[in-house]
Chain A
């Protein structure tokens, strides 16, 4: 039996070399997408040739040479070459620019701020990690098609935005590097604490992030934060084996068997930490987090942990990154350093933060602190609530188990969850009412816990949930939820828990209207895209409904008479629209008047009537059109919210 499967050898070598190859080609052809395609050609050539010729002695060099040759061929083909250019192409092949800069440039471009976060991670894993779309898709539990589209779109965006290839310097370099660090840590965390699915960890992703981090630290050795991120990841990864119990459940840090921590990785982490300190500069967020990880790694037992030091480090971190999650971790550290009451006070200051509303670790931490304070009943409730909020199955089971381990004298009387279900299950309610009531009660149960004894529910608790959840909503919404609570109380014979909630006045405040002068300012802007300009002018001049205008087809238009048929009525316009429309149509003769910029992805198939039969583009959607108008008019609106399209028709 042959030991070496050629195909697998090719892909292994590819994974090791692809970043360098693509990076070098990018310098030659100045286009990420093209560089990757040419490099892929070399991979295909290897897959075709190596099975018969055997694996070459130096497979990496073979791939590199073949890919560069393709790039030179491409450059020759795409230009009508003079002798001089011929020499240039030859020179490119020979040129040995610093390889490190090429790879760093590729990293910065893959994580460029013009790309969405998801696109950055996909591009980084693809171009720097050499992963296939299938592998990336498996790691993020999506389909390969989604990843392929994401990458294709990212390449297109980079090309359209004309992202420069030069290495930035100074502050720009620091900013761009921080985006790379963020992407790498995101990949690591997706592997380390899988946010969804059944497994708690996807180790492949952690390893990939570690590789990328080490690579970056090598490419940008002056960057303290790069070394610090590596230190943080190495030390966190050292606990991989210890943090998962025999049946896949999470084991908390203080309960882990420290003998199972990987000392090799810890040592690597410490070494990276030293390099970070040598690089100097004020401590950044990754350095502080790594320092916290070092504190844990240095404690021989959980009891030996220097919690006061950790609490101090979190105090510094909270200054740099004042996110609710950092504040929550700080509360945990305080609870350990200065007792559960201290921790609980900090946690309770977070319970009204809307961003943590559905974050399962908040009730989980609260439950922990409450249990240590001997407030078992409340602790149990919090663990159940945490379980209902997490999306990870292993974690959910663990949280339920923690709740069940707490001995409580079983509360008499029904629970909130039970009562809510009974309330909604009555026969005398209409479907719409059940739906509306259900929204209110589900949110109450999520926020307060299904297991909360109904008798202990207080108006204060209800008031807090209302403030966190619906504090910012329109008066009507607020009042609707309020009246649900009142009906529920009446039905359950409770005292009125909506007592603390004022009914809000429902003045039908119309959305703000742009002033005519602002409209003039809008029309005079030179940078308005033609489609938007035409649409907005048409809406303004015709005073027709937005839906009616967006549903217009070119066949409906009567350009000479400046009108179009919609249903039984006419949409009419004046001179500005009449001037713009022919430009917008640009020779198109059928299909939607207003079409989107892009063709729909294969996953979306609009109705044929909403597709331009010639370009394949779909009809511009109301949402998109509205979004664009709001974005553009944000600058005009004193409240900075932007205006809605329907406001255009009510202007003189």
Chain B
């Protein structure tokens, strides 16, 4: 099963050590085939909203920055608990903050 882990932005700035640890973590998970895709997201982005026939496009940044997503990882695991364990390892590396783990259905 696949899970998407999204991470909220945090205030702590990443340092050398974090980069190194994260690089190793990503490499390990990729080799094991657990990590299918990962990436960081630009703050804000573009909002596309539809209402009736009308579609409006708005440029960020937006006020609810705390709810935004700063990064994601798509993992393939055998159970929800394994996905949580991956998130746990990730959080241990990045320090204070929040991540959300959701199962992905399809393709």
Contact = CB atoms under 8 A, between A and B. Distances in A.
Size class of the A contact interface (CB-based, 8 Å): 20 to 34
Interface stretch (B8-16, B41-49, B77-85): B77-85
B20 interface: no
A12 B92 contact: no
A214 B32 contact: yes
Contacts of B84: 3-4, 9, 12
Contacts of B51: none
Interface residues of B, number: 17
A210 interface: yes
A13 interface: yes
Nearest to A264: B36
A8 B82 CA distance: 9
B78 A207 contact: yes
Contact of B85 (A12, A210, A241, A268): A12
B32 A264 contact: no
A12 B36 CA distance: 19
A8 B79 contact: yes
A204 interface: yes
Nearest to A55: B88
A341 to B, nearest CB: 39
Interface of B: 31-33, 36-37, 74, 76, 78-82, 84-85, 88, 92, 107
**Shortest Cβ-Cβ A-B pairs, 10 listed:** A12-B81, A214-B33, A12-B82, A218-B31, A8-B81, A9-B81, A264-B36, A12-B79, A12-B85, A13-B85
Nearest to B79: A12
Contacts of A262: 107
B78 A268 contact: no
B37 to A, nearest CB: 7
Interface of A: 3-5, 8-9, 11-13, 15-16, 57-60, 204, 207, 210-211, 214-215, 217-218, 241, 260, 262, 264, 268
Given A57-B92, A58-B92, A207-B76, A268 B33 contact: yes
A306 to B, nearest CB: 25
B78 A204 contact: yes
A180 to B, nearest CB: 17
B4 to A, nearest CB: 13
Contacts of A16: 82, 85
B76 A15 contact: no
A59 B85 contact: yes
Instruction: Name which of B32, B81, B85 has the most chain A CB atoms within 10 A of its CB.
Output: B81
A260 B32 contact: no
Contacts of B32: 211, 214-215, 218
A141 B74 CA distance: 32
A217 B32 CA distance: 9
Nearest to B36: A264
A207 B77 CA distance: 9
B31 A9 contact: no
18 contacts: A8-B79, A8-B80, A9-B85, A11-B81, A12-B82, A13-B81, A57-B92, A59-B85, A59-B88, A60-B85, A207-B78, A211-B32, A214-B31, A215-B32, A218-B31, A262-B107, A264-B74, A268-B36
